Structure 1
Amino acid sequence: MDTTVMLPPRPDRRWTLAQQLGIDTAVVRFWGEEEWWEYDTLVRTKNRFKDHGFSLDVVEDRPPMEKTVLGKEGRDEEIATVKQLLRNMGELGIEVYCWVWTELPVGVPRTSDSIPLRGGSLTTGYDHRDMEGAGPHPEAGITEEELWDNLQYFLDEIVPVAEEAGVKLALHPDDPPISPVRGVPRLVTSLESFERILEMHPSPNHGVTFCQGNFAAMGEDVPEAIDRLADDIHFVHFRDVEGTPDSFVETWQDEGPTDMLATMRAYEAAGFDGPIRPDHVPKMAGEDDREEAHAGYTDMGRLFAVGYMKGLMEQAADEPSLDDRRN
């Protein structure tokens, strides 16, 4: 496994911290960049990372896809942009594309960013009743069946391009894993829905971003879910939550209900050797006055999470296999 972190496309303090942590692979999200899927932007970004000692392994962002998700006129033009992105990534050797099948104005909602945890650290949470108080979303009329049809259309167009380009598609669960949100159905809300989606266009290039917090919120046994999806996991988000899909709190990685060492053992047993990054950490003391200290992506919590992950990975890797223990 390659411990990595999400970084902006241009060097800043976060790049320096990643280097000091011994990280040499990067996940990029193109905050503030226009038409970042163009080859010129991607090649400069890849080389910028390379010049600073990083291999750019994952693009975790999405070109406009609202018309595609909703099946509206103009979706073919949006899909053409995604194809362009995949071909450019393949040309540049960027291996993993993390994407979501969500109508983005609903996005990744949270209803609080100031829930106290240990020592006064602050975390985010979700309460479905509060979210529904905003009233129906403008696209609330779409049906679940329409979304499934639209997803099939998208996969049939995009998976062959990913295969040709040598890029791994890594679908992220809906966050929160609940449907509907403000009247808009969501599809990627259970282990069974993931398995259905993978069967819609089977391919070694069509796989999963295994976001542990989402699978925990689904009520799944997370190590068992890793085992079920083992051959299809291309990317991992290492986090945990406490609660249910309609009411949960994001926890410190070492303080949630999931046995995190067991998840590392499950990845080892599955032979997963791809990128894994911490996700959604609490805000710690002294981080309120920094522009990048928005909820879930502050630096100090990520430093803790990376160290914790590395320790768990070393322990899981050093343990004898089940076959060795039997002998």
Structure 2
Amino acid sequence: MWDLCLQLGVTHAVSSIPEGPEYPSPWDFDHLFRLQQRFADAGITLSVIESAPAEIQEPIKLGLPDRDRHIEQFCQLLSNMGRLGIPVICHNWMAGFTWQRTSFAIEARGGALVTGYDHQRLATAPLSPWGEISESQLWENMHYFLERVVPVAEESGVRLAVHPDDPPISPIRGVSRILTSPEALKRVIDLVPSPNNGVTLCQGTVSSMGVDVVKAIHLLGSTGRVFFVHFRDVRGGPESFVETFQDDGQTDMAAAMRAYADVGFDGYLRVDHVPTMAGEDNQAPGYETLGRLYALGYVRGLVHAIEGDQR
């Protein structure tokens, strides 16, 4: 896989931190160092940690009694990322459970398989184990978190990039979702103003909000706080959508790429979710290899085209 990445011109990488009983704590310096070195040995720079480890952030999002202990762990993670020169962490505020899909093998172009979401399929689902969580609770918990970690992020030179809620609909099984519009993401930026407090602009999620993605790029990009981009697309809206090939969704992707150039985006971009293609077993929906190779080539073509237009 390393060779394929290098052959496609990949220079930077995004990675989660391995978690589990067989691993050290995710904020441990040596653990992070070994992860970074695996990429460095292959000739690739680890530039983004995605996502913030759940064992740290979940109690913080839920506002549990021991959240201060976990905030200290998050701050230790930021400090160690700063020591190692890893500049961005993508976190989210999806309390209780992260991104949701109700289907994982929907046929797309040519029989490729994609994921999808249909809110009606969860209409009779029970409340989550956490019961009902209000939007006001989540905003209060986020403010509490950011007030304490942003100074550490500034000191460490690490940028916080919050991901919008996927799907962008609230509530889901009684748990509210607060980052369901470009304006809500802008509110996060304004909540604790700092050059290190920003967003991940996940285009697929923004597209499923039912808004103009290009306008959202200009709204958020003009703040200088878009640190990370997920360059993917969907067809549909917040209550029902399917994922697509990067070139087969409802967004003008060339216009989106041009918008990033217009606002002076200087962060990191990944293709994120991709279709499962012929010959693959769909054991990792959204994360198989062939669709990723196709998407990387498509993105590089757009980048070169936009750069050519600006010469």
Same fold at TM > 0.5: yes
Identical-pair percentage: 50
The counterpart of 1:174, out of the listed 149, 152, 165, is 165
Counterpart-to-counterpart distance in 1, 2:127 and 2:39: 42
CA drift at 1:37:
2.1
Contact 2:218/2:263 (8 A) holds in 1: yes
CA drift at 1:237:
0.4
Does 1:21 pair with 2:8? yes
Gap regions ≥5 residues in structure 2: none
The one-character-per-residue Cα deviations of 1:276-326 (angstroms, maximum 9, x if unpaired) are 01011110111117xxx41000000000000000001111111148xxxxx
Q: Which amino acid aligns with 2:58?
A: E
Does 1:306 pair with 2:296? yes
3-state SS of paired residue (2:52)? coil
Where do 1:230-249 residues align within 5 Å?
Answer: 230=221, 231-249=224-242
The counterpart of 1:118, out of the listed 93, 109, 115, is 109
The counterpart of 2:62, out of the listed 53, 70, 75, is 70
Where do 1:152-301 residues align within 5 Å?
Answer: 152-230=143-221, 231-288=224-281, 293-301=283-291
Aligned-residue CA RMSD in angstroms? 1.3
3-state SS of paired residue (1:16)? helix
Where do 1:17-166 residues align within 5 Å?
Answer: 17-32=4-19, 34=23, 35-63=25-53, 64=55, 65-104=57-96, 106-166=97-157
CA drift at 1:36:
2.5
TM-score, length basis structure 2:
0.94
TM-score, length basis structure 1:
0.90
Q: Which amino acid aligns with 2:15?
A: V
Counterpart-to-counterpart distance in 1, 2:31 and 2:19: 12
Matched pairs, number: 304
The one-character-per-residue Cα deviations of 1:71-95 (angstroms, maximum 9, x if unpaired) are 1111011111110110000000000
3-state SS of paired residue (1:295)? coil
Counterpart-to-counterpart distance in 2, 1:274 and 1:62: 18
Change (3 A) 1:304 1:208: same
Contact 2:18/2:26 (8 A) holds in 1: no
3-state SS of paired residue (2:127)? coil
CA drift at 1:32:
4.6
Stretch moving more, 91-100 or 67-76? 67-76
Counterpart-to-counterpart distance in 1, 2:47 and 2:310: 29
Stretch moving more, 189-198 or 62-71? 62-71
Counterpart-to-counterpart distance in 2, 1:241 and 1:38: 37
CA drift at 1:31:
4.3
Q: Which amino acid aligns with 2:269?
A: I
The one-character-per-residue Cα deviations of 1:33-78 (angstroms, maximum 9, x if unpaired) are 5322210011111122112101110000222222211111110111
Counterpart-to-counterpart distance in 1, 2:310 and 2:269: 22
